[in-house]
Amino acid sequence: MGKTKSPAGIAKLDRDRRTPLSRQVYERFRAAIERGTLRPGDRVASARSLASELGVARGTVEAAYSQLAGEGYFEPRGQAGTVVSPALPQPRPARPARSTRPAGRDPRRAGVRPQTNALAPLAAPPPLQLGIPALDAFPRELWARLVARRARAAGAADMFYGDPAGHPPLREAIAAYLLVSRGVSCHPAQVFVTAGYRASLALVSRTLLKKDDRVWTEDPCFPPTQDVLHAAGHRTVPVPVDDEGMVVARGLRKAAKARMAIVTPSHQAPLGVSMTLARRLQLLAWASQANAWIVEDDYDGEYRYAGPPLPALKSLDGHDRVLYAGSFSKVLYPGLSLGYLVVPESLRARFHDAARTWSNGCPQITQAVAADFLRDGHFSRHLKKMRLLYARRRAMLVAALQKAFGDAVRIDLQSGGMHLIARFDGRRESDVELAARAQKAGLNCQPLSERGTPGICGEGLLMGFTNVASGAQAQQLATKLRAALDAR
C-alpha cells in the first residue's frame, strides 16, 4: 500500500457530524485534490483497504469513490486500481491572502460555515414613512381568504409559465378599472403587469430609449425615477414644477428634442400639486410634435380629498403618446410587488416582445388574487374607505403639528396625496439637518430640498400621514418630533 495515497486526516472521520461518512470521505479526497496534496496520476488506496483502515464498511468508501469517479476526480483502472484522474490540470497555486476582508464574510475561506448566517429581519415601516398605504386598514382577512382559495384551486394552467405580459384576468380587470375610475380607455392587451414602478420604468427604458437619450423629469422629482434613468445611462433634464405642475415651456427651452417626459400629473411627487388641464394639453402637444413619449406615473391618483379623483393625463391622449404607469403598492400594499404599465396600441407588440425577453413574469397566484379583488368590487370599496380614512388621518396630523409647533410650522396641504409638507421657516437649521434629527428619533421624515436641484422648491419635511392611526398617536408623534427638532 506504500505506493497509494490518501489525504491527510482521512483517518479521522468525524462520527458525530451529521454528514454521512461516505460524504466525508468524498470531501476529504476532493479537498486534497484541489489543494494539490493528491496530484493527477496518483494512485489511491483500494476501497477495501481504506475501509479497513478507517474501520468503516467497504460500501461506504465505494460510494465515495464512485462519486469521485463520476465527477471526474478519480479514474478507475480495473485491476490496476484507481488513480487521480490524469486529465485534471495541475492544481492552482494557493490563493493570495486577502486580509482586508472581514474574516466572517467569506465562509469558504475559513473552511467552515460562519457562526451566524442570519440576515437582519425585515421591519415594519417607521412612523411618518412616506408613500405607503394604511397597513392597519387593509382588509387582511378578506385578502387571506382570497389567497387561500386561489392556492387550493390551483391547477396545471396556474402552475405553468404564465404570460410574461401578465395574467389575463388581471389585465382585463385593470383595463375595466382604468376606464371607470381613471378615464383611461384601453384594451387589456395594452396592459402589462410588472413587479412595480421601477420594473415598469426599466421596461420602458429597455424598449423605447437609447443610452444618452434625454428625458424631462420633474424638478423636484420622485427619486426612483432618477435612479432608474441614470442607471440606464439616460440623461435627465430637470424641468421646474410650479403651482400648475411641470412648466412645459421651460422644458421646451431646455431640450425641445428630448425623447420622453416623466410626470406625476395627479399629485406631483413630492409637491402635491395637480397639473392643470392647460399644462397637460401643452405637454401632449409637445410630445405629439416632437414624437416624444410621456410616462404618466399615476402612483396615487386615487387619493384626492376634495372632489372626485382627476382623470388621468392618459385619458386626454388623443395622439397615443402616453404610457400610463400604475402601481398596487399604494392602493393595496407594497409587499405585493405588483404594478402595471399601459402602452399605446402602436407599442403593444414591442412591449410584448420586451416583456417576454426580460422577465419570467410575476407569480400567477398574486396576480389571480389581485384580479379577484378588483373584479369582485373589493377594490373600489377599499379605495372609497381609504379616501375617507386618509382625509381624517391627515387632519389629525395637521392638528397635532399645529398644536405642537404653533406658528412655527406652515403646512402645505394639497388636494390629495399621501403626505404633507411641513415647513419650519423660522429655524436656522436646514431641512436636511431637521430630517436627520427626526430620523434619529425614529421618525421617518424626509427633507424636501433633497428632491430637487438646489433652491428649486424651498425646504420642508415630508411626512406620510396614512399610518397615523389615532389623534392620540398624532399628538405623540408631533410632541416627539418637536423634542427631536429642538435637540442638539
Segment 199-238, which members bind a copy of itself (CB under 8 A)?
Answer: 199, 202, 206, 211, 227-228, 231
Strand order in the sheet with 82-84: 43-44, 82-84, 74-76
Nearest CB to a copy of itself, comparing residues 52 and 291: 291
Binding-site size, a copy of itself (CB under 8 A): 112
What's the CA gap between 207 and 252, in Å, rounded? 24
Segment 3-42, which members bind a copy of itself (CB under 8 A)?
Answer: 34
Q: Which residues contact 69 (CB under 8 A, 6 or more apart)?
A: 75, 76, 82
What's the CA gap between 224 and 451, in Å, rounded? 11
Q: How far is the CB of 28 from a copy of itself (least distance, A)?
A: 14
Segment contacting a copy of itself by CB under 8 A, of 47-55, 148-156, 392-400, 424-432? 148-156
Segment contacting a copy of itself by CB under 8 A, of 46-54, 165-173, 392-400, 403-411? 165-173
What's the CA gap between 204 and 339, in Å, rounded? 13
In the three-class reduction of DSSP (H, G, I as helix; E, B as strand; rest coil), residue 238 is classed as strand
Q: How far is the CB of 486 from a copy of itself (least distance, A)?
A: 29
**187 is a contact residue toward a copy of itself (CB under 8 A):** yes
| Binding-site string for a copy of itself from residue 51 to residue 90, where x marks contact by CB under 8 A and - marks none | ---------------xx--xxxx-----------x-xxx-
Helix pair angle (168-182, 364-375), 10° resolution: 40
User: Which residues is 322 bridged to in the sheet?
Assistant: 294
| Binding-site string for a copy of itself from residue 326 to residue 355, where x marks contact by CB under 8 A and - marks none | ---x---xxxxxxx-----x--------x-
Helix pair angle (471-486, 431-440), 10° resolution: 120
Q: How far is the CB of 423 from a copy of itself (least distance, A)?
A: 25
Nearest CB to a copy of itself, comparing residues 233 and 426: 233
What's the CA gap between 458 and 408, in Å, rounded? 16
Q: What is the DSSP string of 436-485?
A: HHHHHTT---EEGGGGSSTTSS---EEEE-TT---HHHHHHHHHHHHHHH
Segment contacting a copy of itself by CB under 8 A, of 108-116, 249-257, 293-301, 476-484? 108-116
Considering only residues 276, 402, 414, 439, which one is a binding residue for a copy of itself as defined by CB under 8 A?
Answer: 276
Q: How far is the CB of 112 from a copy of itself (least distance, A)?
A: 9
Segment 405-444, which members bind a copy of itself (CB under 8 A)?
Answer: none
